[in-house]
Structure 1
């Protein structure tokens, strides 16, 4: 019997609990850490690797990816879409700058209702989306890395330069959080030699795989979101370039479990993974810029119950 692919995730957690290097981190919470890890997920049959040993709110993860793709950096559109995963950083900055211990609920309400307040306090700096879609070089020219990637996939699918990343050294100090998932590299296999006479117009132009390099990985809260949204991205890009999704390969650098997530970790280790769900894109938008959460039809997701765990800011 083939081993469930989610065991790769559980193996990392077990390794951290047993052999992780105990250390104090940037947040002051403390972690159990390891260096260097890899997981591989086959998406070719429509598999959507949303972990099942706890409920992962995959719609929130995909909405975040869609927000990245817009190039925006303000949390206001996220809040309008009921996504609150980035609020902690601007809220923390607001409290420290003003001395006002405003609640998260009131802060988010102010961001939503007051565009001026949102502009001043809701921006995260030049984080992921800005770098992916509007990288500014020394001459003032903007570079849309995602658009370039898609064009290269269509015109030169054997290129070894099909990637985008967010580690802009000159702007790191302006970001609310330095990029964790940094490099997205694409690879095409099974490229047909020629369309040939009578070939179907709907025939795949190859199998598209994605490798994500993540310098820093919160294995408890971050990784389940990251894997789901990276799989969603692979499905979207593959559809745009008329290819079949292949493998999602995830590579982690500093992979860590926060010390206040240890009970969470032990809980999911006691659970048996269930079958991954399937995903289908219900339409093909005109470009990568026009996907909506309603385009994702996910079936067969029956996870174990959700587990609450605190975010380290």
Structure 2
């Protein structure tokens, strides 16, 4: 059987060779295709953790755990050595103050100075805010994750088991509007949890493999909380793109072959969706090839 990672590599090659080249919001430029799909069977514990380059899976899981807190400030992430969200507040700080502070110095201040973090570490009402504290026009807050877990437990045949982050009224206040914006769930008659994630904007080299780990970690937690087994993870991409400064890195990755079938499991039963810690996650059989470095387009 062909290794499931070839779904990623085939898409990478397709975008590289046939993508429409155009200017994008960042000014870097992309090669882009519209509409893509991948499907992975998680029932044996396998997850789509890329092996043709190292993906820092703990960073991805830590980010998902932060989303689940409903937080919107990067301080907890920086304190966990997760720096994937620093670029946006750092750019804002430099623009507003004129100070050409280095990223390490900025992150040190965020981590150590609560007042500085409160002012300069905010991202606006991004993912976690919408997932856990969606604000309606009448001032009520909705916990989409909590409501989802209740449906998984009590009405698993529902076709309304989903949550999303595209709050039209608040998109303009976000440092970055949600890319992986809609998640939907489905429970089979034999008790397996399937998930589907739609990603409106998919940075193929840096983002997609990372976001797959995000989504699978969440699926694992939701399944445990609802007493279900794992089924499939299905991914849909809208604007799937390769930045022009990632082309050589993409070619390097395409020269490699997948190896092994990484698995992820939870080491304990958490009391609630809010009780998970990074130490609860364990990955086995992961022997990736070397890191491929590339710059984030902000």
Equivalent position to 1:294, from 263, 279, 284:
279
Instruction: Give the match's secondary structure for 1:236.
Output: helix
The residue correspondences of 1:207-286 to structure 2 (distance < 5 A) are 207-286=192-271
Give the SS at the match of 1:55.
Answer: coil
1:1-313 residue pairs with structure 2 within 5 A? 2-191=1-190, 206-313=191-298
TM-score normalized with structure 2 length? 0.99
Distance (Å, rounded) in 1 between the aligned partners of 2:212 and 2:263: 14
Give the superposition deviation at 1:278. Answer: 1.2
CA distance in structure 1 between the partners assigned to 2:259 and 2:10 by the alignment:
16
**C-alpha distance in 2 between matches for 1:249 and 1:302:** 24
Give the deviation of 1:276 after TM superposition.
2.2
* Length, aligned pairs only: 298
Instruction: Give the superposed CA RMSD.
Output: 0.6
- Structure 1 Cα separation of the partners of residues 124 and 64 of structure 2: 17
Partner deviation per Cα, 1:246-276 (whole Å, 9 max, x = no partner): 1010000000000000011000100000122
Deviation string, structure 1 residues 145-172 (Cα, Å, up to 9, x no partner): 0000000011100000000000000000
Give the superposition deviation at 1:280. 1.6
1:48 offset after TM fit, Å? 2.1
5+ long unaligned stretches in structure 2: none
Counterpart Cα distance in 2 of 1:129 and 1:91: 20
- Partner SS for 1:100: coil
Any runs of at least 4 consecutive aligned residues in structure 1 with deviations exceeding 4 A, and if so which? none
Structure 1 regions of 5+ residues with no counterpart? 192-205
C-alpha deviation, 1:190, in angstroms: 2.3
- Say which SS state the counterpart of residue 297 (structure 1) adopts: strand
The separation in 1 between residues aligned to 2:90 and 2:261, in whole angstroms, is 35
- Give deviations 1:175-220, integer Å, cap 9, x for gaps: 00010000000001124xxxxxxxxxxxxxx100000011000000
Superposition deviation, residue 104 in structure 1: 0.3
TM-superposed deviation, 1:224: 1.1
